[in-house]
Structure 1
Amino acid sequence: MIFGLSVAEFEDLSLKFLLSGLIAYMFFIIWNVARVSRAGRYGTIWLFLVMGLGMFGFMAKELIIKLLGL
């Protein structure tokens, strides 16, 4: 038991929180790339759209799993 949680519960919580932090950091990196490269408004939108789709796909997969009850 870690902090009153089973190992599986601790791993599940850690994955969700740390992965959320990683996704937030990746959004910061995309914003920084857009700023440094002077991408402009439309370039920034495209950067977030294209580079953010992979992260959105991962989050959508988790949501679909929850909705289907698997």
Structure 2
Amino acid sequence: MMFGFNEEQIAWFGLTIGVGAFMLYMVFIIAQLAWESKAGKFGTFVLFLALAFGMVGFIAKMVIQWVLEH
């Protein structure tokens, strides 16, 4: 036990909160990349579309796990 949390709780926190924070950071990085490269509206859309596929997959995994548990 670390700080009153067991291993499962720490893993859940790292997976959900940690990966979620990392996704938000990736949004910032892609926005900065689109801005600096002057990608335009379509280029920015394509960059964020690629990122959105990864995020949708991660969120779908969490939803599927929640549905199967309940």
* The two structures share one fold, judged by TM-score above 0.5: yes
Aligned length: 70
Match of 2:8 in 1: 8
- Secondary structure in 1 matching 2:62: helix
Please list every run of at least 4 consecutive aligned residues from structure 1 whose deviation after the TM superposition is greater than 2 angstroms: none
CA distance in 1, matches of 2:19, 2:51: 16
User: How far does the alpha carbon of each residue in 1:3-29 deviate from its partner, in whole angstroms, 9 at most, with x for none?
Assistant: 211122122112222111111111111
In the TM superposition, 1:1-70 aligns within 5 A as 1-69=1-69
Q: Among the aligned pairs, what percent are the same residue?
A: 37
- Secondary structure in 2 matching 1:5: coil
- The TM-score normalised by the length of structure 1 is 0.81
Unmatched tracts of structure 1, length 5 or more:
none
